[in-house]
Amino acid sequence: MVPRWVNTPDHGVMFSNLVASLQENVSPLVAILKSKDCNSVKNALSKTLTQLFQNPLLFSDEEDDVSHNKKNMACSMATLCNNSSPKKRKSASGGSRDLGQFPPIVILFEDLECFLPHVLQDFISICRNYICELPLVFVFGIATSVSAVHRLLPNAVSSMLCMEKFLQAPPSTEYLNMVINQILMTSVYPFKLGSKVFQLLLDIFLYHDFSVLNFIKGLQFAMQDHFFTVPVSHLCCPLDELEERVMSLKPKQVEQVRRLMSFRGFVEGCPPSKQEDMLLDDKVTKSEFVILLKRIHTYHSLLYPVLKCLHIMVSKIPKHPLGKQIREVYSRVLKSFICDSEDYKECLELLRMTSKDELVDLIQLCRSSLEGTLPPDLAQLPTDLDVLLDKFVKIDEVAEEETPEGSSEEALHLEKTDLHTLRKRLQEEGKKKKKLSPYEKLRSEAIDFFDDLFRRYLLCPSSLPLYEIFYYDAWAEIKRHCNASPRSVVQMALSSPHHYLQCKCCSSESGSITPSMPDICIAYKLHLECAQLINLYDWLLLKRDNCAFATVVTSDEELNEEKIKNPDKELQARFIRAVSELQFLGFVKPTKRKTDHVARLTWGGC
C-alpha cells in the first residue's frame, strides 16, 4: 500500500507515473481503480477487466481473437482466469519477453478511503477465491494513516491480506522547494519572478490547493506573459548570447530600454556628460546595456550561494524571524534589502549569543553548502570559513583565566555611604565595558564576517538597473488568470450577457431586462428583486410592473391575460430549467419552510 498526502490536484500524475513504472518493471497487467467509478462490485470488476484486456501488451498474436471478443465476456474474475495465459507476452518494442509463468496482476486503489466499505470488502473476498490461479497484488493509496485499512475492512477481510508499507510520499511542500531551488533559485535560467508574483503563487499554493502542478502552471503563465508583453524581453537570455542580442537592437528597441524606470534612475545618478551620451548615442547606450545586464547575471551567480548561507544561519533561531524555509528568506530578498530589516537585526543579535558548539555547526553547514563550482568572487569564501573553523578549534588550547575588571575589591558593601553615592557609583561601574573572553571576541568576528558577506551580495534585485528585463512582477495579471473569482465572473455574465455573447440585442441599460436575453439571465435579474424567500408562482406568473418571467419573455403581440394565467408547457419548461441552472450555480436552493418557495443564497449583483 502507498500512503500519500492530501494534495488532490497532483495525485493523478503520481499514480500515472506509478502505473507506467509497474508496467515497465513488474508486469503489463496493471489496473487502476478510483472510488467514483466503483460504486458497486460489478463496476469495480468491469473497470478492472476493461483495463486489463485493453492493454496491447497482454496477448500474443494467436490470442488476438480474445481481445476482439472482450466486450461479450462475462464481468467476473473467472473470465480473467480463463483468458489469462502463462505464455510469453509482447514487449513494448514489439518482440516478446518471458515475464514468468504467471506475471502478477497489479490492481491500484487510488483513493482507498473514498471507496464504499462493502464494495471493497466484497471485491477483496472475490479476488481471494482466485488467488491460487491468479497472482494478485493490491496497491492501496492512503491519504491519512494505515489505520484506514482496518477502519474500512473487518478482521475477517483484512486477514486475507499480507500488508506491507513500501512507499511514503513526501509532502507537497518538499516538491515545491525542489521546483523553487532548481528553477528559480539558480543562475542557469535568467527569468525570475518578482516579489509580488512570487508571494502570490506561494499563497495560492499554501492556502488554497497545495498543488505543485498549479504552481508550475502559474510560473509558465508568468513566463509567457513576460515574453509577450515586455518589448525587450528577448534580452532575458543566457550570458553567452547577451552581447550579440544587445548589439542587434534597433533604435526603437534601444529607446524602449531607455524608458525603463530602473534605467532612468541609473542615468540620473550619472555625471551630466555621461547622461547625454547614454540618452543620445545608441552605441554608447548599447555598451552600457551590456555592462548592466552582465552585472545582473553576476548578481544571480553570487546571490544564491550566499542566500543559502543566510538561511542556514537563521533557520534554527527561535520563532524564525526571517522564516523557516529558504523560500521565505528568498521572498524577503526579492521584496527589499533584507539587511536593513528589523528581523535581520534581531537574528544577528541572537547569533551573537550563540554557544560555541551551535555556531561551529552552523559554519560547517555553510561550508558544506558551498561545495561545487563557485563564481570567482566567492572562490575564496570556503577558505575563509575553514580559517574561521580552525580558530574555533584552536581556541580551546588558549589558556584564558580572565580576572574581572575592578579586582581591587573596593568595599562597596562594607563602606558606609548614602543612597545617592551608591547609585552614582553603580552607574559608573555599569558604564565600564566588560572585557570579552577569547571565544566572545571570535564569535563577534565570525558574525561580523557573515554580516559583511550578506550586505555585500544580498541586494534587492529592484535596486539593479534593467532588472525589469529579467523579473516579472505583473501581480494583477497573475491574480486575474490564476486566482480568479468565479462568483463575480458568473454574476457579471448573468447581468451583462451581451459582453460574452457579442449580441447587440441583449445590451440594455443597467438593471433593465429584455426578452432577447437568455432565460437564465432573465430569471437571475428577477431574483435580485426578491427577498430571502422567493415564491415560484410569483416568479413565473405574477404580473406586477412586468417583473414576472412570463411577462418578460412573452412578446407584446402574444401577451394576453389568458396566456399569462395559463402559460404553455414550453414556457414552464424554460422557467424550470432556468431555476434549476440557478440552483446548480448556487444562487437559490429549495427550502422546507415553504414547499412552493426557494431560498436566495446570494445578495447583491454586478
Q: Exposed e or buried b for every residue in 417-436, given b needs 16+ CB within 10 A?
A: eeeeeeeeeeeeeeeeeeee
pLDDT band at residue 386, thresholds of 50, 70 and 90?
A: very high
Q: Exposed e or buried b for every residue in 198-227, given b needs 16+ CB within 10 A?
A: bbbbbebbeeebbbbebbeebbebbbebbe
The predicted pLDDT at position 13 comes to 79
Over residues 123-133, the pLDDT tens digits come to 999 998 888 88
In a domain, 383, yes or no: no
In a domain, 546, yes or no: yes
Last residue of a domain, one of 158, 191, 213: 158
Total number of domains in the chain: 2
Contact (CB, 8 A) for 587 and 524: yes
In a domain, 362, yes or no: no
In a domain, 59, yes or no: yes
What is the residue-wise DSSP string for 187-246? SSS--EE-HHHHHHHHHHIIIII--HHHHHHHHHHHHHHHHHH-TTGGG-S-HHHHHHHH
What domain range is 568 assigned to? Answer: 486-600
pLDDT band at residue 554, thresholds of 50, 70 and 90?
A: confident
In a domain, 108, yes or no: yes
In a domain, 34, yes or no: yes
The predicted pLDDT at position 181 comes to 94
Rounded mean pLDDT, 500-521: 76
Rounded mean pLDDT, 570-578: 90
Residues 6+ apart with CB under 8 A from 397: none
Other Cβ atoms closer than 10 A to 194: 23
Over residues 27-74, the pLDDT tens digits come to 888 899 988 888 899 899 988 888 888 766 555 444 444 444 555 566
Higher-confidence residue of 113 and 555: namely 113
93 pLDDT exceeds 80?
Answer: no
In a domain, 208, yes or no: no
Over residues 267-296, the pLDDT tens digits come to 999 998 888 888 888 999 999 999 999 999
CATH number of the domain residue 101 falls in: 3.40.50
Query: What share of the chain has pLDDT > 90, as a percent?
Result: 40
In a domain, 331, yes or no: no
508 pLDDT exceeds 50?
Answer: yes
- Only one residue has cell 508583453, namely 229
Last residue of a domain, one of 143, 158, 173: 158
Contact (CB, 8 A) for 494 and 528: no
What is the torsion angle, in degrees rounded to the nearest 10, for the CA atoms of residue 53, residue 55, residue 60 and residue 64? 50
pLDDT band at residue 411, thresholds of 50, 70 and 90?
A: very low
Rounded mean pLDDT, 324-337: 95
Higher-confidence residue of 425 and 21: namely 21
83 pLDDT exceeds 80?
Answer: no
Contact (CB, 8 A) for 328 and 290: no
Last residue of a domain, one of 158, 188, 213: 158
pLDDT band at residue 529, thresholds of 50, 70 and 90?
A: confident
SS3 375: coil
Residue 61's identity, in one-letter code, is D
